[in-house]
Structure 1
């Protein structure tokens, strides 16, 4: 058996092993094969591995010292498919990103400060930079605190994430099609690439209220098929060619808020509806509200809202996520976004994988 040092961590509303790159094979094919066996991919329960049987709990974070002068550590996110023997390293994951800073400090990759340590992380999936503010009183990582986030029971220490250069992370353009609005199957969509490539659409145009549960949406097979058809057309228009076997772009339903937020969201990954909301998704959705004429902008301008607010409160199936936007003049591409999340170390040890 291969014995691999591993720390299982909850990052935001996701969970998965965090592993040093030096403890995995250097060849991509061999590394991916190890991760498939480590997680138990190819079975709906991932019964023969440590995966949790859902996309939110079948994630791996690989961390290493960065060779970039602009970053402290590098982070490669790996989405391990549950029912397939396949991994995808095209997207980023902002929730697992919450675990990278604490892990890097505890592994000695970054020197701790007192009482807060800022870890600059380079995401290798997208080439973007993120500052993670980790609570380190007395130079030690602290996981306990009074911060709560929707979708996670209890409270923990806050982790502040500021996304620095997320526009065009995969396509090089904030609006990859060159349009604020495109039309696919007679549905208006906004294709945006900000932290995560997404296809935003008004739930009402898809025959939905936007308040449906993830289970209700997934059970409507005709709707899911239509959603995938639109996603594939949008993916091609965004420059991704055939996205049948890719998890990007993510399709997103937007609607008017129902609980006092800015807008309501149902985010797909892409074939399952997220039970809350990806952090990278929240960054792009919030930024879209600044783009005049976008699907998101149209929805928020149809309701009473405080003028010029920089806080976007996004309602999702488990509650809300608040995103603080820092604009630089009229250049939306330079917008910085900050979210507060939490993380926790669940166990540390050795995971065994068939050799």
Structure 2
């Protein structure tokens, strides 16, 4: 329960790393039921209004400005609900339109240790209802002797050391936000450049998260540049944003400029034995690795004839693996035929760690600056 200390609002909180992201985890019962009040509180907790989140626990980067809210399941067949919130610290906005697959990796361990799901000896299977998209994800967590363990030999690029493996299976990822795997109805769309140049081919895919896939070469890039170089190239970023906003409009997001979806993804031929080289944007900065939901969407696109991804990756048979080369290393997505589904079932190995637990404080006087992105 919330409590007041020195005129501040204290909320029970657990900070966790999930995959290559990090953020506070809250029980839904500890936060206001009103979305506006909840979001104003989250903005205060994360230190919004400053690019470093200096007056909060945000990490000054989109990968560390994330929040997970977990509670009892409201969907049949699920064990828990998981609402993801991306806190855009500079703009003072809480965006709940996307899912986050890396934070998702820590949801099941958090839920088990919070007493929402009973643990079994060996491996505990937790079915997670992602409230943002209405989709189910199955997580398999190591629970020897009925207790969550974070220690193990699994390695994921972008995170130092080793940890216990967590296997995530996206059971029916198609149409996460738009209701359609191909929101525009076509595997490829041509968008005229902001400078009036010939149209750029993009693929608009909605599987786990809406993405806009584009060949790096079509935007004058190799797709292998250091991640910081993209942000510093203002002309490139302006072109990418213009493409993203127009792709979003065609996907059914007329206000995409104020949202973090669709996410743009640059694709290029691999150089280290993978399937594709990728640069994933969040959307205004290049990801230091690769988002899990973005990996699911891009891997799914590899199985759809005619998409930008399938043209670069070549013909793919199921079951099979798609390996992405990203700035921090590699990420592999396992694709299996989805029974009666429009998209394959995508499975990914992740890890997580519980970092600390206690009480985080919000200012009671902070105005409700949050804006729910619809």
Aligned ranges for residues 58-73 of structure 1 at < 5 Å?
Answer: 58-73=65-80
CA separation in 2, counterparts of 1:177 and 1:307?
Answer: 25
CA separation in 1, counterparts of 2:329 and 2:56?
Answer: 30
CA separation in 1, counterparts of 2:223 and 2:217?
Answer: 7
Aligned ranges for residues 245-324 of structure 1 at < 5 Å?
Answer: 245-301=258-314, 310-324=320-334
CA separation in 1, counterparts of 2:133 and 2:335?
Answer: 20
Which consecutive residues of structure 2, in runs of 5 or more, have no partner in the other structure? Answer: 1-7, 193-198, 365-374
Any conservation in 1 of the 2:318–2:335 contact (CA below 8 Å)? Answer: no
Any conservation in 1 of the 2:48–2:56 contact (CA below 8 Å)? Answer: yes
**CA shift for structure 1 position 68:** 2.0
Aligned ranges for residues 115-154 of structure 1 at < 5 Å?
Answer: 115-154=122-161
Aligned ranges for residues 28-43 of structure 1 at < 5 Å?
Answer: 28-43=35-50
The answer on 1:345 being equivalent to 2:354 is: yes
**CA shift for structure 1 position 214:** 1.3
The answer on 1:113 being equivalent to 2:123 is: no
Any conservation in 1 of the 2:172–2:338 contact (CA below 8 Å)? Answer: no
The answer on 1:335 being equivalent to 2:348 is: no
Aligned to 2:171: 164
CA separation in 2, counterparts of 1:21 and 1:182?
Answer: 40
RMSD between aligned residues:
1.2
CA separation in 2, counterparts of 1:243 and 1:287?
Answer: 22
**CA shift for structure 1 position 45:** 1.0
**CA shift for structure 1 position 308:** 5.5
Aligned ranges for residues 224-243 of structure 1 at < 5 Å?
Answer: 224-243=237-256
CA separation in 1, counterparts of 2:251 and 2:92?
Answer: 27
Deviations 1:264-299 (A, max 9, x none): 100011111101011000001001000111100110
CA separation in 1, counterparts of 2:302 and 2:260?
Answer: 23
**CA shift for structure 1 position 242:** 2.3
> Size of the alignment, in residue pairs?
351
SS at match of 2:107: helix
Deviations 1:321-350 (A, max 9, x none): 111001147x77241000000000000111
Deviations 1:107-134 (A, max 9, x none): 1100000100000000000000000101
Of 47-56 and 309-318, deviating more is: 309-318
Any conservation in 2 of the 1:174–1:333 contact (CA below 8 Å)? Answer: yes
Relative to 1, partners in 2 of residues 1:308 and 1:98: Cα closer, same or farther, differing over 3 Å?
A: closer
The answer on 1:21 being equivalent to 2:21 is: no
Aligned to 1:79: 86
TM-score (norm 1): 0.97
Any conservation in 2 of the 1:282–1:323 contact (CA below 8 Å)? Answer: yes
Any conservation in 2 of the 1:290–1:332 contact (CA below 8 Å)? Answer: no
SS at match of 1:259: coil
CA separation in 2, counterparts of 1:4 and 1:293?
Answer: 49
**CA shift for structure 1 position 307:** 6.3
The answer on 1:96 being equivalent to 2:103 is: yes
**CA shift for structure 1 position 69:** 2.0
Relative to 1, partners in 2 of residues 1:334 and 1:293: Cα closer, same or farther, differing over 3 Å?
A: closer
CA separation in 2, counterparts of 1:352 and 1:41?
Answer: 14
Relative to 1, partners in 2 of residues 1:328 and 1:61: Cα closer, same or farther, differing over 3 Å?
A: closer
The answer on 1:219 being equivalent to 2:232 is: yes
SS at match of 2:84: strand
Structure 1 consecutive aligned stretches of length 4 or more whose deviation exceeds 2 Å: 305-309
CA separation in 2, counterparts of 1:30 and 1:107?
Answer: 24
User: 2:162 pairs with 135, 139, 155, which one?
Assistant: 155
Any conservation in 1 of the 2:26–2:68 contact (CA below 8 Å)? Answer: yes
TM-score (norm 2): 0.92
Of 239-248 and 134-143, deviating more is: 239-248
